[in-house]
Amino acid sequence: MKILIGLGNPGQEYVKTRHNVGFMVMDLVMEEFGFDAFVLKSKLKAYISEGVVGGERIVLVKPDTFMNKSGEAVNAVKSFYKVDFPDLLVCYDDYDLPVGEIRFRENGSAGTHNGMKSCVELLGTQDIPRLRIGINSGIQVEDLSSYVLGRFSVEDMEKIKPVLHAAVEKVKNLLAI
């Protein structure tokens, strides 16, 4: 079994914001694999979609917590499904990377990302595999919170679309599917 978690904020007002890149990737993975729509599992504090790909059970997760409390959902899902870290992947936006860049790491610090900080704190380890997707358009921002909660410009949205699809391919490669 593999668990794929996209970090983001729940609610219509956050759809297509920079901070919801993880959710966008999970939606594309769901479509790519032909899984059923996400369903809220309140016990897990998350929306879940699952299916089988190449004989492997895949669980897609979008936390129903706000970003700063993502670790609550990630911890609940990890405990419920009883998976180890090599079988878990967290996907999220990263201001420290330029728009269009994707980086996979098996472990490391959370950097400036509060959602990942919550995951590291509640899971008690930095050994969390993660796929980071760059959202920095190269402009100086004074208020990082407003920036990540803002929507992509038309130009950046054109840049991010192929990146989201590349992230899906990276997920498939990491799953060896």
Q: Where is pLDDT greater, at 10 or 154?
A: 10
Listed in sequence order, the residues at least 6 apart from 132 whose beta carbon sits closer than 8 Å to its beta carbon are 91, 92, 93, 94, 97, 102, 103, 104, 105
d(CA 2, CA 28): 17
Q: What is the pLDDT of residue 142?
A: 86
- Mean pLDDT throughout 108-126? 86
What pLDDT is stored for residue 75 in this prediction?
A: 95
Mean pLDDT of 140-158: 86
Arithmetic mean of pLDDT over the chain: 91
Residues 66-75, mean pLDDT to the nearest whole number: 94
Contact 49, 34 (CB under 8 A): no
The mean per-residue pLDDT over the stretch 109-129 comes to 87
Sign of CA dihedral 128, 131, 50, 151: positive
Chain position carrying tokens 């995951």: 119
Q: How many domains does the structure of the chain reveal? A: 1
Q: pLDDT at position 174, please?
A: 78
Q: What is the pLDDT of residue 111?
A: 78
Does position 32 have pLDDT exceeding 70, yes or no? Answer: yes
Answer yes or no: is pLDDT of 20 > 70: yes
Domain that residue 85 falls in:
2-174
Q: What are phi and psi of 142, to 5 degrees?
A: -90, -30
Report how far residue 136's alpha carbon sits from residue 100's, in angstroms, rounded to the nearest whole number. Answer: 9
What pLDDT score was predicted for residue 24? 95
**145: helix, strand or coil:** helix
Which sequence positions are flagged as catalytic?
19
Tell me what pLDDT residue 171 has. Answer: 85
Bridge partner residues of 40 (DSSP): 47
Q: Whole-angstrom Cα distance, residue 85 to residue 43?
A: 21
Burial (CB count <10 Å: 0-12, 13-18, 19+), residue 100: middle
pTM recorded for the entire structure? 0.93
* pLDDT at 177 exceeding the cut of 70: no
- pLDDT for 58 equals 94
Here the CATH number for the domain that contains residue 46 is 3.40.50.1470
Which tokens belong to 141?
């921002």
